[in-house]
Structure 1
Amino acid sequence: MPWLILLSALAAPLLLWGSLHLRRRHRLLADLPTSKAAGVFIGLTELQGTAECAAPLTSTLAAMRCVHYRYVVEEQWSRLVTETTTDSKGRSRTTTRRESGWSEIASGGETVDFYVRDETGIVLVRPEGAKIEPLRLFDETVSRGDALYYAKAPAAAVAHSDHRRRFTEYGLPLHTPLFVVGRARERTDVVAAEIAADPAAELFLISARSEAKVQSGHAVWSWVCLFFGLVCTLGGFLLYQTFRAVPFVPWHFIAVGAGFLAVFTLGWVWMVYNSLVSLRERTRQGWSLVDVQLKRRHDLIPGLVAACAGLAGHEARTQTALAALRAQQQATPPGVAGPDFTGLAAPLRAVIEAHPDLVAQASFARLHQELVATEQRVALARTYYNDIATAYATRLEHIPDRWVARLGRMTPPPLLAATDFERAIVRVDFA
């Protein structure tokens, strides 16, 4: 019995911590806005889209094209176990029972970097170090007469084998809708963001479940941990009283349960306060992202406009020179009295060699694309800020969160209005 008391004493705080940890994760997912692929910025981000890869893997059992898969092959065994026990009077008793189970005989899997695609673009995801919640791709149990029995597993059998094997495979097939939460960072090969493992990140999750199901799973398991933590606390107290032969006193029992709930309440206040602080800092980061995009627009667009204007002027002068030379050619055709036509060859050749390509039209097309992309990035940054600021303001109004927020004198941030957003307009003028 003492080991049961010790086990209860160890399990109760662990379950209490697990409940608070899961509840914090639930709040994080609820407060974090879902970003678009084109609007993924540096920092913790949440993204939904489909799994895409130019060179996907092929899973071992289901033979499906995947970005991640993992398979396990198990073999069933059973055996008879004979036990001899002796009671307090010295009498021996022999019993026979049957044991059975499954032993792993083969396993494997692969994971490859992939992209998450939505209607705005793609984002590279490097899944190493992530918690992956895949789909079940293959699940079949066969006997020795089935062709699969030896096709994907070793020929040797385990001890006491029943000659039945179970083949299971999980994975993330190509084009599967995914929910990804992780820290975005700048890529080293191109100017874009990627989502990868970061020791400082609160969560790195790649799930084939929807955001709502992931959140509800965290909430349910939080309550389950809290319930069993209370059971372990009360059960351990009763076992301790029984072991020490202490008479049962109801109010002692109630006091122990109330103490456990009081500790949970203190831990919950600590968790909520830290969550609100993190949400406040993410809100400030969202505001800085808007300023970053406005600064980018202010610095980038005038330079692009000047470059396009220079190209346009260059082409205008080139076309004028060519037109003048063409007019001279038509005025003095070969074989007609007048200025020698061959005299035009040298200046015409100089114009052609100095300006082999006229690219103003392509430059204007690229400028248009950059203008659209820039305004889209600004709009996405503004939307992200408004979403996370709304989540923060809502948290500050909810009870009992608002009581905890008063400890840090937290106030709701302002939302971006159109008049605020129209500052530092960059005009595109080629006159």
Structure 2
Amino acid sequence: MELQIWGYPVFALGLTALVLAFRTMRRKRLVDDIPTSRTRGVFIGLVELKGTAESEKPFTGFLSAEKCVYYHYKVEERWSRMVTESYTDAKGHVQFRTHQESGWTQVASGKEMQPFYLKDETGIILIQPEGADIQPKNLFNKTCGRNDPLYYAKGPQGSVANSDHQRRFTEEAIPLHAELYIMGQSRERQDVVAPEIAKDKSAPLYVISTRTEKQISRSYSGWFWFWIILGLLISLGSGLLLSQQDKESFNPDWGIVALWSGFYLLSWLLGWLWAGYNSLVGLRNRVCQGYAQVDIQLKRRFDLIPNLAKSVEGFSRHERELQEMLAELRTVSKVNGQDTMDIKGASAILVFNMEKYPELKADTVFLKLQEELAATESRIALARDYYNSIATFYNTRREIFPDRLLAGIFGFKERVFINASELERAALKVKLAE
């Protein structure tokens, strides 16, 4: 009976392992399903980015002395000691034995991090690393004795008890210009009108990693199967405990073992249905969000460009009037002794207008309009590419087994792509005054 009581908490541990497995699977699906955005095309929400780590004032690693945007170092000291313990032998006599124990004790550590920029071919975006799951590179790893200058130069002067006078120095860091994979929540910056990536409690994942997307996905996959198998083994163990009648002999009821294992497999099936359905819902919502972003950029173009064109037209007309006035002034000045008051009046008007508009340069305004037109079309193209990418992920997930079964049962419909010609029909033509 005592063994049977332990069966229930052991089975609960198996279910806990199952929960951890599906939590890991959810993260793997996020990594696999969310397309990579460009820094210029980042919108508010969960995004995936790839680029290099950049900073205006990078740190210098404490041990590696390399430029980086984040580092964490630690110093460990080895110790060993002889331990004597007592035990009772088979005849009931108290005996003593001696063995050696050894290990490592951390004697120093430290880290520094700072906001940095992620750079790709389209631009940069600010990254706030606080609260992220940072997966850095190993930049420094060395074990040495007291004869090495590093021993005291980067470590404490004192020693731990029973020290072997060996120290291990390790440092992990995100080096400057390192290739990074980032998944996190995008939000508006408070200092300028631009997005940034930062910790958000509502976001399911915030990762800053020096590993590739494939490496991260494989890691999550490995942990998923580890937790699944561990949970199955634990559930088998709980079935054995619940079916054991006599603690003196091993004679389990295999029917009970099969029953509890069946409970675990049923829980696994329900968990898979829950995780798969939620994954499809998340993909569908991101497709809708991507389409809305395209619509927002088209609306921005519709509202912004005509107003810019009117502004440029006004600047151009005003500068043309000043040029005509200046030409008139030069013509009149060639006539000696005539129209003196007109010359003074024209000069006064000209000075007044130049003082009122000291930065008036039509060519600069035209250049800014061209830049804004190019940037607007680039934003639309990035929004369209993001939508098409996430729609591709969604449609693919709908068609592959076993998610195809869920898509059919719950009615997840296929999403159509947006091509360039559809956006061109909505483009505005800018006609400027000559």
Q: Does the aligned pair in 1 maintain the 2:243–2:254 contact within 8 Å?
A: no
Give the letter for the 2:60 counterpart: T
SS of corresponding position for 2:327: helix
Provide the residue aligned with 1:335 in structure 2. Answer: none
SS of corresponding position for 2:334: helix
How big is the shift at 1:349?
A: 4.0
For residues 341-393 of structure 1, what are the alpha-carbon distances to aligned partners after superposition, in whole Å with 9 as ceiling and x for unaligned? 68624422430332244311111111111000000001100111111111111
TM-score if structure 1 supplies the norm length?
A: 0.94
Provide the residue aligned with 1:129 in structure 2. Answer: 131
Query: How far apart in 2 are the matches of 1:63 and 1:14?
Result: 43
For residues 235-263 of structure 1, what are the alpha-carbon distances to aligned partners after superposition, in whole Å with 9 as ceiling and x for unaligned? 34335555644623445444443432221
Query: How far apart in 1 are the matches of 2:288 and 2:192?
Result: 27
- Which consecutive residues of structure 2, in runs of 5 or more, have no partner in the other structure? none
Where do residues 237-248 of structure 1 align in structure 2 (5 Å cutoff)?
Answer: 237-239=239-241, 241=243, 244=247, 245=249, 247-248=251-252
Provide the residue aligned with 2:328 in structure 1. Answer: 324
SS of corresponding position for 1:212: helix
Provide the residue aligned with 1:28 in structure 2. Answer: 30
Give the letter for the 2:133 counterpart: K
- Are 2:92 and 1:90 aligned? yes
SS of corresponding position for 1:41: coil
Within the candidate set 414, 417, 420, 2:419 is matched to: 417
Provide the residue aligned with 2:315 in structure 1. Answer: 311
Structure 1 residues 4 and 147, CA gap change in structure 2 (3 angstroms): farther
Q: Does the aligned pair in 1 maintain the 2:79–2:105 contact within 8 Å?
A: yes
SS of corresponding position for 1:318: helix
Where do residues 147-226 of structure 1 align in structure 2 (5 Å cutoff)?
Answer: 147-226=149-228
Give the letter for the 2:327 counterpart: A
SS of corresponding position for 2:19: helix
Structure 1 residues 111 and 357, CA gap change in structure 2 (3 angstroms): closer
Give the letter for the 2:312 counterpart: C
Query: How far apart in 2 are the matches of 1:4 and 1:74?
Result: 40
SS of corresponding position for 1:372: helix
Provide the residue aligned with 1:118 in structure 2. Answer: 120
- Give aligned-pair identity as a percent: 44
Query: How far apart in 1 are the matches of 2:78 and 2:338?
Result: 102
For residues 202-257 of structure 1, what are the alpha-carbon distances to aligned partners after superposition, in whole Å with 9 as ceiling and x for unaligned? 10110000111111111111111111221222234335555644623445444443
Structure 1 residues 10 and 168, CA gap change in structure 2 (3 angstroms): farther
How many residue pairs were aligned? 426
Query: How far apart in 1 are the matches of 2:359 and 2:341?
Result: 24
Give the letter for the 1:316 counterpart: R
Instruction: Tell me how large the CA RMSD over aligned residues is.
Output: 2.0
Runs of at least 4 residues of structure 1 off by over 6 A?
none
How big is the shift at 1:6?
A: 7.2
Give the letter for the 1:299 counterpart: D
How big is the shift at 1:328?
A: 1.6
Give the letter for the 1:282 counterpart: R
Structure 1 residues 5 and 136, CA gap change in structure 2 (3 angstroms): farther
Query: How far apart in 2 are the matches of 1:17 and 1:345?
Result: 87
Q: Does the aligned pair in 1 maintain the 2:50–2:120 contact within 8 Å?
A: yes
Q: Does the aligned pair in 1 maintain the 2:33–2:390 contact within 8 Å?
A: yes
Provide the residue aligned with 2:347 in structure 1. Answer: 348
How big is the shift at 1:89?
A: 4.0
How big is the shift at 1:10?
A: 4.4
Query: How far apart in 1 are the matches of 2:155 and 2:414?
Result: 60
Query: How far apart in 2 are the matches of 1:288 and 1:171?
Result: 38
Query: How far apart in 2 are the matches of 1:414 and 1:362?
Result: 41
Provide the residue aligned with 2:306 in structure 1. Answer: 302
Query: How far apart in 2 are the matches of 1:412 and 1:420?
Result: 19
Q: Does the aligned pair in 1 maintain the 2:33–2:283 contact within 8 Å?
A: yes
How big is the shift at 1:7?
A: 7.0
Query: How far apart in 2 are the matches of 1:357 and 1:79?
Result: 80
Query: How far apart in 2 are the matches of 1:357 and 1:214?
Result: 53
Give the letter for the 2:82 counterpart: L
Provide the residue aligned with 1:367 in structure 2. Answer: 369
Give the letter for the 1:413 counterpart: R
Query: How far apart in 2 are the matches of 1:156 and 1:321?
Result: 85
Query: How far apart in 2 are the matches of 1:295 and 1:423?
Result: 14
Please say which of residues 242-251 and 383-392 is displaced more in the overlay: 242-251
Give the letter for the 2:378 counterpart: Q
Provide the residue aligned with 2:83 in structure 1. Answer: 81
How big is the shift at 1:398?
A: 1.3
Q: Does the aligned pair in 1 maintain the 2:332–2:339 contact within 8 Å?
A: no
Query: How far apart in 2 are the matches of 1:7 and 1:107?
Result: 39
How big is the shift at 1:422?
A: 3.2
Query: How far apart in 2 are the matches of 1:265 and 1:87?
Result: 50
Query: How far apart in 1 are the matches of 2:400 and 2:8?
Result: 40
Query: How far apart in 2 are the matches of 1:421 and 1:141?
Result: 61
Where do residues 8-27 of structure 1 align in structure 2 (5 Å cutoff)?
Answer: 8-27=10-29
